[in-house]
Structure formats: C-alpha cells, structure tokens
Structure 1
Amino acid sequence: MRLPRPLGISGPSLWLPAGRQSVAEAVAAGLLDQDTADELGLQGLPVAELAPPEMAVEAGRSALRAAGLDARAVGLVLHAWIHYQGHDLWSPAHFIADRLGAEDAVPVGVQQVCNGGAAAVELAAARLFVEPGLGHALVTTADAFADPGFDRWSGDYGIAYGDGATALVLHHLPDGANGRSADLVLHSLSTVAVPRLERMHRGDDPFSPAARSLGPRVDIRRTKKAYLRAEGLEAFTGASARALRTAVESCLADAGLRATGDTPLRYVVAPRLGRKTVDLAYAPLLTKLTGAELLRPGADTGHLGAGDTAATLADLRTHGTLATGEYALIVSAGAGFTWSCLLVSGA
C-alpha cells in the first residue's frame, strides 16, 4: 500500500498482565515436553485474569496518555483479536470505545486472525486518507488463551500463546511542525494472501453449529495434520516463501526502496513465533532479502494473537531502538494465510 505521504504512529503500547507461567513450570506440570520447550526458545508466558477487552482498555489508556491525546479526538477505533472475547454475540470494539471515552468514534472489529493487528493498521491508514476530517485512529488488540478452551503451550506447532493487549494511535503528521510529532513514522504497508491455505486451520473438520462442538479445546494441531496429509509440507512452505518475499519487496518498493542487501534498513523484525519456526520459515529469507539485522521479539511474551505487530512497535518506542531516519521492517502473518509488512522509521 503506497501511502500518499507518511503517517505518524504515537503511543504504541503493550499491556501485559502481572501473572506469568515460566517454561520450567509448564514442563514440570506436563504441559509440554523439554524438547518442545527448547524449540520454542521462550522464558515464559504472561497469563491474564482480566478479559481481553478489559486489557485492551488498559492498553488504549496507555496509548492515549503516551500520545498526549484526549479520547474525544479519536474518530475510529479498530479492535482485532483471534480468540474468545468474553461474550457470545457482542462487539468488543464498542466496549473499548465506550470505556475509553471515545464517544465520537466509530468502533469496528477486525477479524484476520493473527494478522489482524497489521490489517487494522492498514484499514486505519486507508480511512485516514479518504476521510481527512477523521482525526485520529486508535488500533487495539487483545487476547487471552485460558483453559479449558485453549492449550497455550501445546495447542499448536512451533507457537506458544501469551495473554496481553496492545494499542497505538495512527494519525496524519502536521505540516511544518517543529519538534517530535510522533513516536514512529509509517512509510508503507503491504499485504499478500494465499486463500487456498485456509485449510491449515480447518483440516477435515465438518462445519459445526457452535464453537468447540468437536472437542473441548481449540486444536490447531489436528487441522494442520489433516492439511499436511492431504497437501504435503512443500505446498505450504513454497506458498509461504513466495508470499513473504512479495510482501517484503512490495512494502520496500512502495517506499522507494529496494529489497537487496543495500537496502537502508536497520532491522527486520520477525513475528513472535517459536525460535525453530522463525529459524526455518522467516530468518533465512528475511536476512537474504534485506541484509538487515533480524530481531526476534517475544521471548518473554510468546505469540500475542493479533498483537504481535503493535507489540513490536511498542518495543521500538520504549527502548528507543530507532534513531531519526533509521528504518525497521516489521513482518506479520496470520492463518488464512495472510502476510503483512510495515515499514517504519524513527521520528
């Protein structure tokens, strides 16, 4: 997505609960074996007591406070998630907007599974350009992967799921402003989808009348096994590599950069997946395409559902990772499958 001009990202925030379960505790409890723990490469996972929308409100408050913005200046609230939000037929985005005091905002829920956070940023960017009077867009994500419905440690291959929420404010940069007008600058976005891979998360399961009708827990391993039996691993890895390459090259090209070792990127940032998954599916291609230093966030959070992208943006702000004019390419992926890239720089 070629932006007519860069946008500002202010107050990107990551809200994590105080509760945690270490890898050692999980292994001792029989929730995963030591070999799997080593492949994940995690220290532990955050474990929440709050419902996801309540966590999103906390993250939203942090983002608005860090951005120095009154909630009444928000014209759009986009909320993304992948797992149950606490009620059966209900809009968490409206709850978040109401609790934050964004009384003039239009709340919208975004369902693109783990790529939902990146998709929400892309939708917000498009809306800002077609509706100049919109003001500011607030993007939130939140997920909790609690028993009995979800096995956060062993319900998937190569991924462990942590609870938490994120938020950021997306807005136009003022013309001719002096001083710091944003925490980060968004230069371009790209999204590539391969819809034929949707079976990875459907498998051979029949359509059912209600959630978890086929079993008491979300079982991603079952559906992936069924896909691999029918299609083979190479069908997925080949399509994934092609889509990832296209997403990277398109994002850089839309910002006037090239996907070569000469690209002026300081960092390229992988999704918050297990260490072995990143090593196999992301690290070789991203390093070859960009020549940038690969960052592997998430050792202390695990995969945050729809929140990986915003969590990385929050890390960049909190740690002051990017100096003014330095670039980072943030990679996101989600079931379906969809891959997104965001190119940002220090403000």
Structure 2
Amino acid sequence: MKTEALFIAGVATYLPPATKVEQAVADGRFDAQDAEDTQLQSVCEATDEAPPEMAVAAARDALERSGHRADDIALLLHACVYFQGLELYPTASYIHREVLGDHSALAFEVKNASNGCMTALDIAARSLAATDDVAALVTTADKVSPPAIDRWNSDIGIVPGDGASAMVLSKRSGFARVLSTSTVSDPTLERLHRGDAPFTPHHDPTLPIDLRLRKLQYLGDVELDEFTRRFRAGLSDCVDRALRDADIRLGDIVRFVVPHFGRIVLQREVLAALDIDLDLTTWSWGRTVGHLGAGDQIAGLGHLVEERAVDVGDLVMLLGVGAGFTWTCAVVRIVELPEWPARSAGSGLGGGGS
C-alpha cells in the first residue's frame, strides 16, 4: 500500500539486562553447538517486570519523543507473542489507561506471532489513511518464563529475548516518512509451528512448549527445501510490493531492519532470499538482545536512529515475518535525526531502557 503523509514520530524500547550466551553455556542452560550455530552474543532476560509494565515504559517514552499529546492517539495496537501476565484480561486497555489516560481510543491486541508489530503498523497505516484520526500508538511486549517456555531450548536457531517497544505513527510529522507497507500470507506453512500437536481445552503450564519438536514433526513430512522455497517466495513477494508502491528499487535501500534470528536461520530465510549483505542489516545489534517476540522491527529502527547508523534521506526497509506464515514490509525515508529527551524519571522499571 502506498502511503501518503504518514510519519513515524517517536519510537522507544524497554530492554532488561542481557545474559551473555557464553554464561548460559557455562551454566548448562544452552548447548554449545547451538550457541555456535546461532552466533548470538547475549539475550535480554527480565526478572520481576511484567510485559504490560514494560510496554507502558516504552510507550510513555515514545509518546514523549513524538511531540503528540495523549489525546491525539485514536488507535492503540498492542502486539505480543507470549503470556502477558494475566488470563482473560485486555492488556491493551491497561496500556491505554496508564499511557493515554481516560480519553476514548480504540485499543486492542494484535496476535500475529513475530510479525506482530509490523502487522500493527500496517493496520494503523490503513486506519489513519481511511479516517480523520491524527495518530496511532503501536506497542509490543514479551517475556518468556519457565516452566512454560525454556528460553534457551524451546526453538531451533532462535532464542527469545524479553523486552518492549513502542512507536507513534502520525499524519502530522515525524523523523521518518512511511512510503509504503505490504503484507503477504501463505497459510500452507502454518503447520511448521503446530507439528502433530493436538488442540487441547487449555495449556498445561507445567509442560514446556516444544517448538523444536513441532518443527521436526512438520519437516518429517515436508522437505526443508520446499519450505524454504515457499518462505522465500512469500518474503520476496512482500518486498516487491513494498518497493513497487514506494517507487524504488531494492538497491536504493541503505539499511534493513531484520528479525533477530540466529545466524543460520537469518541467512537461509532472509539474506539469501533477498541477496542482501549482512552488514546492511541490524544483525550486529539484534544478536545482543535476542528475538524480542513481536517487537524486533520497532526496536531495530530505534537503534539505527539513536546510534546515528542512518542519515537524513536514507531509505530503510523494515522486514517482518511471523508463524502462519505472514510477511510484512515497510519502506521508510529518514527525514530528520531527532534529539530525543532522556527517559522520564519514573517512566521506566528498574534495570533497563533505551
């Protein structure tokens, strides 16, 4: 979708302290071969922080950085992958009350696996284009906890990290202009994350979720090459649509914000598919925080801007992918390098933030 007069006005993250991968190996929590294969350096691990609290911390900073008032926000989308701290509870409404106060806004959760923040960005872009609303807030927050999830051994080639991110989209102004968004899906691949697992009345939290087993069950019936072919086709289609709507070429992109996968998975599923160089991506930073559930792309863009790894005029592509499968891309042009205020006193939780 080609976008008109849509900007990213503010982004922020909340990141708890990170555990060195070598320490996790020494502690016997992470297999040495898996550590070598993923080439991760460290992974963020929350302690007492609940996901909604981390989301609130990031959202407050993003809103302050955006220059918007709370009552400018007409839409709040909270994307997440894992348990948010309480069942049968509207997490988005908690974030709404804590960050925006009591003014009316549409707030709801987006559950689209690791493509959550990108799906939310696409939804928000479409909503703002179709209404007189001025601004939208996208938040993410995820935290994995035992025994339900064994962080270091629950997946193949991916290690989840804890943290939150937030982005304010605006029709007025911002540091980056959104030129296009696109979303493509291929539900024939949904079984990769289901395997042979049956549907049950409820999840038993004492039984660890084993994505390794599910994926191996799927790959026992479907060749990895066939999965990879369809995956790359979906991603390439998504990227082509975003480039076409932005009226640019892939070679015009200066930096790519990619999911925080391990090195082998990133190479097979993203870099080889698009024939892009690792040095043009956010890999060097992503490998220090882990896969932030639904929030890699907002966090990655924020890192590029804060570290001045982009310049005014640069084109950046945000690449999202989630189980199911869906792919979402956004092309943005950096129009300003903002001097954001420091984190507000009391806006964070003990231990992290950027």
With structure 2 as the length reference, what TM-score do the two structures score?
0.90
Counterpart-to-counterpart distance in 1, 2:322 and 2:141: 15
Match of 1:176? none
Among 174, 178, 198, the residue aligned to 2:190: 198
Match of 1:111? 111
Match of 1:127? 127
CA contact 1:13–1:311 (8 Å) conserved in 2 = yes
Pairing 1:281–2:273 present = no
CA contact 2:257–2:297 (8 Å) conserved in 1 = no
Q: 1:69: how far off?
A: 2.2
Counterpart-to-counterpart distance in 1, 2:187 and 2:128: 27
Pair 232,88 (structure 1): closer, same or farther in 2 beyond 3 Å: same
Query: C-alpha root-mean-square deviation of aligned residues, in Å?
Result: 1.7
- 1:97-146 Cα distance to aligned partner (Å, 9 max, x none): 011134322111101111011000000011101111x2210000000011
Residue identity matched to 1:187: L
Pairing 1:13–2:12 present = yes
SS in 2 for 1:231: coil
CA contact 1:201–1:223 (8 Å) conserved in 2 = yes
Counterpart-to-counterpart distance in 2, 1:269 and 1:72: 30
Q: Report how many aligned residue pairs link the two structures.
A: 332
Pairing 1:301–2:300 present = no
SS in 2 for 1:306: coil
CA contact 1:287–1:293 (8 Å) conserved in 2 = no
Pairing 1:230–2:221 present = yes
Residue identity matched to 2:260: R
- 1:219-269 Cα distance to aligned partner (Å, 9 max, x none): 11111011101122122101001111111111100111234xxx3221223
Pairing 1:189–2:189 present = no
With structure 1 as the length reference, what TM-score do the two structures score?
0.91
SS in 2 for 1:82: coil
CA contact 1:266–1:292 (8 Å) conserved in 2 = no
Pairing 1:219–2:210 present = yes
Q: 1:292: how far off?
A: 8.9
Counterpart-to-counterpart distance in 2, 1:59 and 1:294: 23
- Residue segments in structure 2 that go unaligned for 5+ positions in a row: 336-354
CA contact 2:258–2:296 (8 Å) conserved in 1 = no
SS in 1 for 2:289: coil
Match of 2:31? 33
Counterpart-to-counterpart distance in 2, 1:204 and 1:53: 32
Residue identity matched to 1:243: G
Among 313, 316, 327, the residue aligned to 2:315: 327
Pairing 1:245–2:236 present = yes
Counterpart-to-counterpart distance in 2, 1:318 and 1:226: 42
- Residue segments in structure 1 that go unaligned for 5+ positions in a row: 174-180
SS in 1 for 2:248: coil
Match of 2:331? 343
Runs of 4 or more, structure 1, over 6 Å off, are none
Q: 1:333: how far off?
A: 0.7
> Identity over aligned residues, as a percent?
37
CA contact 2:271–2:278 (8 Å) conserved in 1 = no
Match of 2:145? 146
Counterpart-to-counterpart distance in 2, 1:91 and 1:250: 34
Counterpart-to-counterpart distance in 2, 1:283 and 1:183: 27
Q: 1:320: how far off?
A: 2.6
Counterpart-to-counterpart distance in 1, 2:286 and 2:37: 14
Match of 2:341? none
Match of 2:21? 23
Among 261, 268, 273, the residue aligned to 2:256: 268
Counterpart-to-counterpart distance in 2, 1:336 and 1:46: 26
Among 38, 44, 55, the residue aligned to 2:42: 44
Counterpart-to-counterpart distance in 1, 2:178 and 2:72: 20
Counterpart-to-counterpart distance in 1, 2:27 and 2:185: 38
CA contact 1:94–1:107 (8 Å) conserved in 2 = yes
